[in-house]
Amino acid sequence: IKFLTAGESHGKGLTTIVSGFPSNFELSEDYVNFHLARRQMGYGRGLRMKIETDKAEILSGVRFGKTLGSPISLFIKNKDWENWTDKMSLEPIEKEIEKITIPRPGHADLVGTLKYNFNDIRNSIDRSSARETAARVAAASIARKFLSNFNIQIGSFVESIGGIYPRENFIDKIFNGEISQNYSAEKLNHISDKSAVRVLDAQQENKIINKIKLAKKKGDTLGGTFYVVVTGVPVGLGSFIHYDEKIEAALSHAVMSIHAVKGVEVGIGFEGANLFGSQVHDEIIIKKNNFYRKTNRAGGIEGGITTGLPIIIRGAMKPIATLMSPIESVDLATMKKVIARRERSDFVAVPACAVIAESMVAWVIADFFLKKFGGDSIEETKDNFMNFTQKYFQR
């Protein structure tokens, strides 16, 4: 499967073309829009989220509510475009448009401007903006819907913002095996989507909101950490044969590709590096004639292949680069020291980042799932899947 996105943050809108999914599974604009709305949530977002109500229009690939197997194209209009018709005009215009020459440290402003030989940082800002992730969520919602046919579910929650962690680390339960493959990852979303910052612990929520208020008051921003959990994944997705077939490498790549993500872990990740092997590896036992694990510290992946236990991915997002009390930069027009430019932005976007990470993870799981089971129609994919799970997987 593949997808491409196109569009600038303040252009007419975002387009995505999604290809490679089988025919005959249900898909609606409402389903896509449900996930687009989840991406817009979270205390600490900027004014832009008040302007936009992201809605995807499906332009092709679906008839009578079911996929055709042909490319699915989607368009998300930028409502804000109406306020940017001069500044983002396709044609050269007479009117003088202010050129941006002061880069924000931490954003793609400087590197993008040097790389593409621009004389106006706006050219770099608009495509490097995380607004692009709206198109990714739309594309990946097709992957999610496809996976739901096999009861594969994806959920996420924010673990910390600004260094404020939950009282009791919920994720320990998952590693200790309490949350088994029978758990439904969507249950996590039923809790986290209700929280203003997508945390599971209500007491932590108030502390985080106070910290965000402090950041806003100081003209500063915050980052944080989040978890994505996938349940219902069969054993056997991915391979140890080649580097690009290892599913944890593909998952890490996908999450790391999200704007401002600077770290990814699978399972207990970095913590495992400090422990004895006997404290890390998940013992194998036989229960009801089937393989079973007491723990899931591996995060559902061994040897680049899914184990059949929940997949657990943790990501770290750095603080948003646009500061209302800016730090030092250089004016490219004068080459003199200045303070960085302010630009309308978010203060915190970790809750949205977790939803985007869910989407990227869903995409990779669907890709590896279809590599293993194939099928031009959903019926054929289901047959292949049932054949494997009944004939080979169940013992």
Return the residue of 24, 43, 46, 170 that touches ligand EPS, per CB under 6 A: 46
Asked if 346 interacts with ligand EPS (CB under 6 A), we say: yes
CA 84 to chain centre: 27
- Stretch 316-335: interaction string toward ligand EPS, x if CB under 6 A: ------x-------------
Which range, of 89-97, 124-132, 296-304, 385-393, touches ligand EPS by CB under 6 A? 124-132
Helices (H) and strands (E) in the chain, counts: 12, 16
Task: Indicate which single residue of 131, 144, 198, 293 sits in contact with ligand EPS (rule: CB under 6 A).
Answer: 131
Give the CA distances from residue 136 to residues 48, 51, 317, in Å, rounded to whole numbers and listed in that order: 18, 20, 17
Q: Which of 16, 153, 296, 345 binds ligand EPS (CB under 6 A)?
A: 345
Rule CB under 6 A: is residue 259 a binding residue for ligand EPS? yes
Q: What is the dihedral of CA 388, 389, 391, 394, to 10 degrees?
A: 150
User: Inter-axis angle of helices 29-39 and 350-373, to 10 degrees?
Assistant: 140
Nearer to ligand EPS, 130 or 152 (CB): 130
Q: How far is the CB of 325 from ligand EPS (least distance, A)?
A: 16
> Which of 35, 48, 104, 211 touches ligand EPS (CB under 6 A)?
48
Q: State which of positions 266-295 bind ligand EPS (CB under 6 A).
A: none
Stretch that binds ligand EPS, among 143-151, 242-250, 264-272, 339-347 (CB under 6 A): 339-347
Locate 182 and state its tokens.
């029978």
How far apart CA 299 and CA 316 sit, in angstroms, is 17
| In contact, 321 and 104? CB cutoff 8 Å | yes
Q: Considering the complex, what minimum distance in angstroms separates the CB of residue 22 from ligand EPS? A: 30
122 binds ligand EPS (CB under 6 A): no
β-bridge mates for residue 314, sequence order = 227, 265
CB 222 to ligand EPS: min, Å: 14
Q: Using the minimum distance from each CB to ligand EPS, give the nearer residue, 129 or 252.
A: 129
Q: How far is the CB of 346 from ligand EPS (least distance, A)?
A: 5
CA distances from 182 to 175, 227, 233, 242, 257 (A): 14, 18, 10, 31, 30
What is the C-alpha to C-alpha distance for residues 269 and 273, in angstroms, rounded to an integer?
8
Taking CB under 6 A as the criterion, the residue among 3, 5, 7, 9 binding ligand EPS is 9
| Widest Cα–Cα separation across the chain | 76
> Should residue 134 be labelled a site residue for ligand EPS when binding is judged by CB under 6 A?
yes
Quick check: 78 and 11 in contact, CB under 8 A?
A: yes
Find residue 287's DSSP bridge partners. Answer: 290
Position 51, amino acid: I
CB 362 within 8 A of CB 143: yes
Q: Does 262 bind ligand EPS (CB under 6 A)?
A: no
- Interaction of residue 344 with ligand EPS, rule CB under 6 A: yes
CB of 200 vs ligand EPS, minimal distance in Å: 23
Q: How far is the CB of 269 from ligand EPS (least distance, A)?
A: 26
Binding site for ligand EPS (CB under 6 A): 9, 46, 48, 129-131, 133-134, 259, 322, 344-346
